[in-house]
Amino acid sequence: MDEYALKCENISKSFPGVQALDNVGFDLKKGEVHALCGENGAGKSTLIKIVTGLYQKDSGDIIYEGSKINYKSTIECRKNGIALIPQELQLAETLTVAENVFMTDFPRKGIIVDWKVMMKKTRALQERLGAAALTFQPQDLVSKLSMGQRQLVEIMKAISTGVKLIAFDEPTSSLSDEETREMFRLIQELTNQGISIIYVSHRLAEIFKIADRVTVFKDGKLIGTKAIAETNPQELISMMVGRDMNLYQKSHDGIVGETLLEAKNLTRGSKVKNVSFTLKQGEVLGMFGIVGSGRTETVRLLFGLDRMDSGEVIMHGKKLNIKSPRDAVREKIGLITEDRRGEGLSLVMSVAQNITMPYFSKFRKHGVLDLKEEAKTAGKMVEILNIKTPGLKTRVETLSGGNQQKIVISKWLGADSEILIFDEPTRGIDVGAKAEIHKLMDNLSKEGRGIIMISSELPEILSMSDRILVFRDGEIKAELENTESLTEEDVLSYSIKTR
Partner 1 sequence: METQPTLNQKKGFRLNYTTLNWGMLLVMLIIEVIVFSNLTPYFLHLNNLLPVGREIATLGIVAIGQTMCILTGGFDLSVGGVAAISGVVAGVMCSPKMLDLPFVVGFPIAIAVALAVGMTNGFLITKVKINPFITTMAMNFILGGAVILITKQPITINKPDFKFLGATTFGDIKFPLPIIILVGLYLLFFFILKYTVFGRKLYCTGGNSEAAKVAGISVEKTIFFTYTFSSLLAGFAGIMLASRIATANPGIGSSYALESIAATVLGGTALSGGEGNIWGAFLGVFVTGLLSNGLIMIGAPQAWRDIATGLVLILAIILQLSSKKSRRLAG
DSSP-assigned beta bridge partners for residue 286: 453, 468
| Beta carbon of residue 349, minimum distance to partner 1 (angstroms, whole number) | 5
- Residue 316, interface with partner 1 (CB under 8 A)? no
When binding is defined by CB under 8 A, the residue of 342, 372, 485, 499 that contacts partner 1 is: 342
- Residue 411, interface with partner 1 (CB under 8 A)? yes
Contact letters (x/-) for partner 1, 205-244, by CB under 8 A? Answer: ----------------------------------------
Span interacting with partner 1, options 72-80, 120-128, 147-155, 347-355, rule CB under 8 A: 347-355
Query: Cβ(145)–Cβ(136) under 8 Å?
Result: yes
d(CA 14, CA 346) in angstroms, rounded, equals: 27
CB closer to partner 1 out of 144 and 326: 326
Q: Which of the 8 DSSP states describes residue 39?
A: S
Query: Cβ(391)–Cβ(377) under 8 Å?
Result: no
52, 94, 210, 429 from 153: Cα distances, Å: 18, 14, 21, 37
Region of 137 please: left (phi>0), alpha (psi -120 to 50) or beta.
Answer: beta
CB closer to partner 1 out of 230 and 383: 383
Cβ neighbours of residue 48 under 8 Å, at least 6 residues apart? Answer: 36, 84, 167, 169, 198, 200
Q: Which of the 8 DSSP states describes residue 252?
A: -
Largest CA distance in the chain: 82
- Residue 284, interface with partner 1 (CB under 8 A)? no
CB closer to partner 1 out of 191 and 337: 337
When binding is defined by CB under 8 A, the residue of 95, 349, 478, 486 that contacts partner 1 is: 349
When binding is defined by CB under 8 A, the residue of 254, 311, 344, 425 that contacts partner 1 is: 344
- Residue 326, interface with partner 1 (CB under 8 A)? yes
Backbone φ and ψ of 218, nearest 5°: -150, 130
- Residue 422, interface with partner 1 (CB under 8 A)? no
Q: Is 63 helix (H, G, I), strand (E, B) or coil?
A: strand
| Beta carbon of residue 387, minimum distance to partner 1 (angstroms, whole number) | 7
When binding is defined by CB under 8 A, the residue of 16, 110, 317, 390 that contacts partner 1 is: 390
| Beta carbon of residue 378, minimum distance to partner 1 (angstroms, whole number) | 9
d(CA 277, CA 266) in angstroms, rounded, equals: 9
Cβ neighbours of residue 284 under 8 Å, at least 6 residues apart? Answer: 252, 254, 441, 442, 445, 451, 453, 464, 465, 466
**Residues 359-388 within binding reach of partner 1 (CB under 8 A):** 360-361, 364, 367-369, 371, 379, 382-383, 387-388
Span interacting with partner 1, options 103-111, 145-153, 353-361, 486-494, rule CB under 8 A: 353-361
- Residue 450, interface with partner 1 (CB under 8 A)? no
- Residue 345, interface with partner 1 (CB under 8 A)? yes
CB closer to partner 1 out of 68 and 393: 393
When binding is defined by CB under 8 A, the residue of 54, 95, 305, 486 that contacts partner 1 is: 305
CB closer to partner 1 out of 250 and 323: 323
Q: Which helix (H) or strand (E) element contains residue 369? A: strand 368-369
| Beta carbon of residue 18, minimum distance to partner 1 (angstroms, whole number) | 18
| Beta carbon of residue 331, minimum distance to partner 1 (angstroms, whole number) | 10
| Beta carbon of residue 354, minimum distance to partner 1 (angstroms, whole number) | 8
| Beta carbon of residue 21, minimum distance to partner 1 (angstroms, whole number) | 27
**Residues 77-96 within binding reach of partner 1 (CB under 8 A):** none
DSSP-assigned beta bridge partners for residue 451: 284, 420
170, 199, 437, 499 from 38: Cα distances, Å: 12, 12, 25, 18
CB closer to partner 1 out of 233 and 325: 325
Cβ neighbours of residue 230 under 8 Å, at least 6 residues apart? Answer: none
39, 227, 398 from 43: Cα distances, Å: 9, 20, 27
Indicate if the alpha-carbon torsion angle 99, 104, 107, 108 is positive or negative. Answer: positive
Cβ neighbours of residue 403 under 8 Å, at least 6 residues apart? Answer: 387, 388, 389, 433
| Beta carbon of residue 353, minimum distance to partner 1 (angstroms, whole number) | 7
Binding site for partner 1 (CB under 8 A): 303, 305, 324-326, 328-330, 335, 337, 342-349, 353, 357-358, 360-361, 364, 367-369, 371, 379, 382-383, 387-393, 395, 397-398, 400, 411
